[in-house]
Amino acid sequence: MTEPAIIVENLVTQYGDRRILDGVSCTIPRGEITVILGRSGCGKSTLLRHLIGLARPHSGRIVILGQDLGGLDEEGLTALRRRMGVLFQGAALFGSMTVGDNVALPLREHTTLEESTIRIMTRMKLELVGLSACEDYFPQALSGGMRKRAGLARALAMDPEILFFDEPSAGLDPVTAAGLDDLILSLNRTFRMTIVAVTHELTSVERIAGHVVMVDRGTILFSGPYDQLLASQEERVRQFLERRPDLIEQDTEAYLSTLLGEA
Ligand SMILES: Nc1ncnc2c1ncn2[C@@H]1O[C@H](COP(=O)(O)OP(=O)(O)OP(=O)(O)O)[C@@H](O)[C@H]1O
Ligand SMILES: [Mg+2]
């Protein structure tokens, strides 16, 4: 078996005294699409920030592409981050730059390539996400779905070995969201790219997930192939998959029936 793209061992994170991730261990396989799943506020984005080396753990170990984050200085960390592409929640494009310049930015910052080469590479990435006609547009002239695609082109600029998404389809209509999911699938199939997507959209999970890491109350509730997640009998997993809300507390129910009784 090939070595995983990322290994997380006993990761603990806290903000002040509040513990957010409490001993998280999981692996992200190479060449697959891994979905990080869980309720709002469970710590998905926090875990993602650790997986890209943006946050230092309180304790625990993270190994990315064979390198232990704990043993890296700032320079080593920067070099490692160049091998990863990230599309944050909301795309985060620079409004004062054209779409083309946004995509070219990582190449201008991190390489010494000629301007003409950078132009060609930028156009290739825009072509890949179906935005070749929009190179000279400013981000405010794009729809939400187009912005995500532009952000994706920028994340792909440096030909990353791992691509990360935070909520790729949030805020998009179902058709546009499905289009973005298909783009993620084709990147994985065409380039065998390792992809990690954080989401809580079950429709999107159904479409793209190969491997699943499910976070719940600061720990890992499930980690494994998507088929196994579907077969899981764990109550918290079933509740999430079946979209069941938490039960109303007894007191609330009693209170409501008194109100109804009085009416
Ligand atoms: N910088 C911070 N300072 C303090 N608390 C934080 C910070 N960032 C996140 N938190 C807390 O950590 C918890 C997990 O947040 P996180 O953003 O990781 O959740 P999430 O699973 O991504 O949620 P969502 O699905 O809503 O995006 C939340 O309770 C949040 O309030
Ligand atoms: Mg989040």
Answering whether pTM is above 0.85, one says: yes
Pocket test for ligand 1, best of 11, 17, 39, 46 (most atoms within 8 A of CB): 46
Pocket test for ligand 1, best of 17, 20, 88, 205 (most atoms within 8 A of CB): 20
d(C-alpha 228, C-alpha 222), whole Å: 9
d(C-alpha 180, C-alpha 140), whole Å: 19
| Cα distances (angstroms) measured from residue 216 to each of 21, 47, 110 | 9, 12, 37
pLDDT for position 19: 93
How much distance in Å is there from the Cα of 101 to the middle of ligand 1? 31
What is the Cα 104 distance to its own chain's centre?
Answer: 22
What beta strand segments (E) does 5-155 contain? Answer: 6-15, 18-28, 33-37, 59-64, 67-68, 84-87
Ligand nearest to the CA of 47: 1
Q: Which residues line ligand 1 (CB under 6 A)?
A: 15, 20, 38, 40-46, 200
* Closest C-alpha to ligand 1, atom 7: 15
How much distance in Å is there from the Cα of 167 to the middle of ligand 2? 7
Cβ(108)–Cβ(115) under 8 Å? no
* pLDDT tens, residue order, the chain (263 aa): 689 999 999 999 998 889 999 999 999 999 999 999 999 889 999 999 999 988 888 899 999 999 999 999 999 999 999 999 998 876 689 999 999 999 999 999 989 999 999 999 999 999 999 999 999 999 999 988 899 899 999 999 999 999 999 988 877 888 888 988 999 999 999 999 999 999 888 989 999 999 999 999 999 999 999 999 999 999 999 999 998 887 666 667 777 777 777 55
- Domain 1-83+164-171+179-263: which topology? Rossmann fold (3.40.50)
Ligand nearest to the CA of 201: 1
Residues forming CATH 3.40.50.300 domain(s) in the chain: 1-83+164-171+179-263
d(C-alpha 220, C-alpha 213), whole Å: 7
